[in-house]
Chain A
Amino acid sequence: MTTPTLKIPEGWEGRAPDGWDWVPLWEAIEQGGHIFTDEFVRGAIDAGINPRVILDDGLFPGFNLQGDRFTEQIIFIPEMLITARAMKAGLALIRPLLAANDEKPLGIFVMGTVLGDMHDIGQSIVTIMLENAGFEITNLGTDVHPDRFIETAMEQKADLVGFSALLSTTVYYQKVTIEEFEKAGHRGKVNILIGGAPTTQEWANEIGADGWGKDAIAAVNLAKDLIAKNREAWA
Chain B
Amino acid sequence: MKELKPRDRFIGALRHEKIDRVPRLYRMKREAKEKVARVFGVTEAETGLGHQPELELRMGNDAIIYQIGVNAEFSHREIAIGDTWTSPFGVGYGKSGLMGRTEEEHKEFMKTQEYWGPAKVVPENFPNFHPITSMEDLQNYTWPDPADRRLLDPIKALCDAYQDDYFIIVDLSSTLIEAAYAHIVGTQNFFLTLFDDPDLIKGVLDGLTEYYTELGKNAIALGVDMIRVGDDVGAQQAMMLSPAQWRELARPRFEYMFGEFRKANSDLFIKLHSCGDYSPIIPDEIELGVDLSGLMQPTGGNKDQAGIKQKYGNDIAFIGGLDVQNLLPRGSVEEVRASVFNVMKNLAVGGGYVFSPSHYILADVPIQNIWALYEATQDYGVYGKYPLD
Contact = CB atoms under 8 A, between A and B. Distances in A.
9 contacts: A73-B238, A78-B194, A119-B126, A143-B98, A167-B362, A169-B122, A169-B364, A200-B299, A214-B236
B207 to A, nearest CB: 20
A82 interface: yes
A61 interface: no
Question: Which 3 A-B pairs have CB atoms at the shortest separation, nearest pair first?
Answer: A116-B121, A118-B126, A198-B325
Contacts of A121: 187-188
Interface string A120-147: 0100100000000000000000111101
Instruction: With a 10 A CB-CB cut-off, give which of A176, A198, A203, A214 has the most chain B CB atoms.
Output: A198
A100 B67 CA distance: 58
A119 B362 CA distance: 17
Interface in A85-104: 85
Interface of B: 94, 96-100, 118-124, 126, 128, 187-188, 191-192, 194-195, 235-242, 245, 276, 299-300, 324-326, 328-329, 362-364
Interface in A171-217: 172-173, 176, 197-198, 200, 203, 214-215
B204 to A, nearest CB: 15
A82 B187 contact: no
Given A117-B96, A118-B126, A148-B99, A81 B192 contact: yes
A76 B329 contact: no
A77 B122 contact: no
Contacts of B192: 78, 81-82, 85
A75 interface: yes
Contact of A76 (B236, B238, B325): B238
Contacts of A119: 126
A194 to B, nearest CB: 14
Nearest to A218: B237
A144 B98 CA distance: 8
Given A116-B96, A117-B96, A203-B326, A77 B235 contact: yes
Nearest to B239: A76
A79 to B, nearest CB: 8
Q: Classify the secondary structure of A's interface with B.
A: loop
For chain A, the bracket of interface size reads: 35 or more
A115 interface: yes
A50 interface: no
A124 B236 CA distance: 16
Most buried by A among B99, B329, B363: B99
A113 B191 CA distance: 21
A142 B126 CA distance: 11
B326 A142 contact: no
A157 to B, nearest CB: 23
A4 to B, nearest CB: 15
Given A76-B238, A121-B187, A168-B328, 20 more contacts: A73-B238, A76-B240, A78-B195, A81-B188, A115-B96, A115-B121, A117-B96, A117-B124, A118-B94, A118-B126, A121-B188, A143-B96, A148-B99, A169-B364, A170-B121, A172-B120, A172-B121, A173-B120, A197-B236, A203-B326
B2 to A, nearest CB: 40
Nearest to A200: B326
A82 B122 CA distance: 34
A200 B303 CA distance: 14
Given A78-B194, A168-B329, A172-B118, A115 B245 contact: no
A142 B100 CA distance: 13
Nearest to B300: A197
B98 A116 contact: yes
Contact of A116 (B123, B128, B242, B299): B123
Contacts of A77: 191, 235, 240-241
A32 interface: yes
Contacts of B126: 118-119
Nearest to A31: B195
Contacts of B237: 73, 214-215
A168 B123 contact: no
B53 to A, nearest CB: 24
Nearest to B362: A169
A169 B240 contact: no
A29 to B, nearest CB: 14
Contact of A124 (B188, B324, B363): B188
B194 to A, nearest CB: 5
B198 to A, nearest CB: 11
B316 to A, nearest CB: 23
